[in-house]
Amino acid sequence: MQIKFNHVFFTYNADSPFKVEALKDINLELSENNITAIVGRTGSGKSTLTELINKLLTPTSGEVHINNLVNAPKVKIKGKAIKEFRKEIGFLFQFSENQLFEDTVLKDVMFGVQSFYPKNKNPEALAKQALTLVGLDESFYNRSPFDLSGGEKKKVAIAGVLAYQPKLLILDEPTAGLDVKGKKEIMDLFKKIHESGVAIILVTHDMDVVLDYADKMIIIDDGQIQKIGAPKDILQEDVEKYNLETPNIYQVIHLLKANGKNISSNVNDIPSLIKELKHHG
Amino acid sequence: MEILKLNNVSYSYNKKVDVLTDVNLSINAGEDIAIIGHNGSGKSTLGKLLISLLKPRSGTLSFNGTIIDNKNDSLIRAKSGIVFQNPNNQFIGVTVRDDIAFGLENKCVPHEKMDAIINEYASKMGVSNLLDKEPSTLSGGQKQRVALAGILAMLPDIIVFDEALAMLDPKGKKEISELIKEIKKNNPALTIIRITHDLDEAFNSDKVVVLSKGKIMFNDTPINVFKHVNELKELGLDIPFVVKLNQALLNEGLISEVDYNLHSLAKKICK
């Protein structure tokens, strides 16, 4: 998956007194099959960025290239062509558990395949495959999505996206509202999906998730890219000015350093910290 | 004084699977309680049963010693409120003002008094400038403030926060938890029930109730509950970072006593 932003600007309500410049001159290239985290405070422009990739929005100026598809102001894309964008890119919204609507789990998961690939002869097989991947067995097929727990509903929504086999998955706050186990389960699932060849863009406030799962992180603030790099490098710096939470482990490391302790930059969890303290006590 | 008591309460949504089984729980007025448990453990159901938004299938809820049934549930309804995780699910009014007014209208507060009350609580929650806005145009943190203003205007004895912070960004989270602290400080008799996944939030409560598969596994102070690392792990629950760190340090002899304050803990490590 090749994603390229070329001098992209996006302004909401451009010709009105309520105009908001959400993105200002974004240049970005994502070519590796990474898990990329996009982070930043509410209103920083991070959702706008992902919505440009999926062509939910069109840039005010500049171009977004997704493989051979172009999203730019003068490029008219309608009907079928928009489908080309959307079926390559799975978008999982926040509160995805609320987007279920069919009367059985299986039908719900089949819906995306059927609308993107109306000629596909076996949407059911793809749906079942996707449900297996998210860990829902056949006992779920004929249940109503509305009788499931929040976590199960979320899995159904994920399966619904996976079933049409997108090459890129955009996740908007996928772990919000999940418990620790659910969070780990779902992120491990995304990691597995990623390993099967799907690139992932992750929009999140959870820096622990970024540290544990993302290969790359991009901090957006004030409509511009502020930082881009490996999470373990960036998160050791001061990220609170972007209204991001410093992961617990780095909070401790900062405090230890402030008290005169020397801690190597490889320490990124409790076991490695303990090891460091024991050996260089 | 005991304000809420669940006595052998069971509940099921579809009569097949029990969401809660034989739950006994006593809550004193003014307590700040966290209910934790994995997704599907019955936390939200428990929260709703405690303020009679759901009725037990068997067993009873008592509020200030009175058993609540279909006839007298207005007793507790008038004295309790709930803030949901997804603030969009709780708005009724077209404007913020209407929304705060809704509860007061139900309580038959005379219209001439209403404006003053709305203004008072909007100002306390810092949303005075938003009164004429449409709730859907607000940020997550603003929505939770509006929801709280509406609830506080009803002078409740009990507020349930059903993962009310989960969807907020770090700044919103911090602001709303400070606000809850402030509300509690001004009204120590207020009983707070937090349904949460946030272990730090649970760690800072007076008591932690751990639910698993519809049963209460632990009900104790945070320090006593989070001692049970292995049992919690088996239930799919983690323990707060600061507890984990203390244990690891203690096991290796890097500190001699626990300290749950990171600042002073860091000093102890460096000694």
pLDDT tens by residue, B104-126: 888 888 888 899 999 999 998 99
Residues 25-54 of B with CB under 8 A from A: 36-40
The whole-angstrom separation of Cα B253 and Cα B234 is 26
How large is the average pLDDT for residues B1-20?
90
Residue B259, CA atoms < 13 Å, CB-side half-sphere: 15
Residue A69 and residue A169 in one domain: yes
Tell me which DSSP letter residue A179 carries.
Answer: -
Q: What is the pLDDT of residue B53?
A: 94
A180 touches chain B (CB under 8 A): yes
Task: Give me the residue from A95, A244, A261 closest to B170, CB to CB.
Answer: A244
Residue A183 and residue A274 in one domain: no
The whole-angstrom separation of Cα A208 and Cα B48 is 31
pLDDT tens by residue, A67-82: 888 899 987 777 777 7
User: Residue B236: closest CA among chain A residues belongs to which residue?
Assistant: A181
- Asked whether the CA dihedral B205, B209, B213, B214 is positive or negative, the reply is negative
Task: Give me the residue from B39, B170, B263 closest to A182, CB to CB.
Answer: B39
Residue A87 and residue A193 in one domain: yes
pLDDT tens by residue, B174-183: 888 899 999 9
- Provide CB contacts within 8 A for B65, sequence distance 6+: B2
Task: Give me the residue from A244, A260, A274 closest to B270, CB to CB.
Answer: A260
**CA-CA distances (angstroms) from residue A281 to A87, A255, A261, B256, B268?**
55, 16, 9, 15, 12
Residue A83 and residue A168 in one domain: yes
Buried b (16+ CB within 10 A) or exposed e, B129-160: ebbeeebeebebbbbbbbbbbbbbbbebbbbb
pLDDT tens by residue, B16-41: 778 999 999 999 999 999 999 987 78
Residue A19, helix vs strand vs coil: coil
B169 touches chain A (CB under 8 A): yes
Residue A269 and residue A178 in one domain: no
Residue B97, helix vs strand vs coil: helix
In order, the DSSP letters of B194-240 are EE-S-HHHHHTSSEEEEEETTEEEEEE-HHHHHT-HHHHHHTT----
* Consecutive H or E run containing A99: none
- In which domain, by residue range, is A66 found? 3-241
User: Residue B172: closest CA among chain A residues belongs to which residue?
Assistant: A42
Residue B165, helix vs strand vs coil: coil
Residue A182 and residue A274 in one domain: no
Q: How far is B37 from chain A (nearest CA, A)?
A: 8
**CA-CA distances (angstroms) from residue A239 to A40, A242, B175?**
10, 6, 18
- Asked whether the CA dihedral A262, A264, A269, A273 is positive or negative, the reply is negative
Tally of domains in chain A: 2
Residue A263 and residue A171 in one domain: no
A41 touches chain B (CB under 8 A): yes
DSSP-H helix ranges across B1-139: 43-50, 74-77, 96-106, 111-124
Q: What is the pLDDT of residue A136?
A: 93
Is 70 exceeded by the pLDDT of residue A281?
Answer: no
A-interface mutation test, from B35, B36, B39, B161, most A Cβ less than 10 A away? B39
E-strand stretches of B46-204: 58-63, 66-67, 80-83, 158-162, 191-195
pLDDT tens by residue, A85-126: 788 899 888 777 777 888 999 999 999 899 888 888 899 999
**CA-CA distances (angstroms) from residue A115 to A78, A108, A228?**
16, 12, 36
Residue A254 and residue A235 in one domain: no
Task: Give me the residue from B38, B237, B241 closest to A248, CB to CB.
Answer: B241
Residues of B in contact with A151 (CB under 8 A): 39-40
User: Residue B197: closest CA among chain A residues belongs to which residue?
Assistant: A179
Residue A130 and residue A267 in one domain: no
Q: How far is B168 from chain A (nearest CA, A)?
A: 9
List the CATH number of the domain containing A205. Answer: 3.40.50.300
User: Residue A208: closest CA among chain B residues belongs to which residue?
Assistant: B241
Residue A66 and residue A202 in one domain: yes
pTM metric for this prediction: 0.80
The vertex-A171 CA angle with B242 and A51, nearest 5°, equals 130
**CA-CA distances (angstroms) from residue A220 to A7, A74, B8?**
15, 26, 51
Q: What is the pLDDT of residue B66?
A: 95
Residue A255 and residue A185 in one domain: no
**Spatial contact of B182 and B125, defined as CB atoms under 8 Å apart:** no
Residue A19 and residue A37 in one domain: yes
With cut-offs at 50, 70 and 90, classify the pLDDT of residue A146.
confident
Tokens 């077209």 -> residue: B94
Largest Cα separation within chain A, whole Å, is 67
Q: What is the pLDDT of residue B3?
A: 97
The whole-angstrom separation of Cα A194 and Cα B126 is 44
The whole-angstrom separation of Cα A209 and Cα A193 is 16
C-alpha radius of gyration, chain A, whole number: 21
pLDDT tens by residue, A21-73: 899 999 999 988 899 999 998 778 888 999 999 888 999 999 999 888 889 99
Q: Is the ipTM of this complex over 0.85?
A: no
The whole-angstrom separation of Cα A62 and Cα A173 is 27
The whole-angstrom separation of Cα B105 and Cα B88 is 21
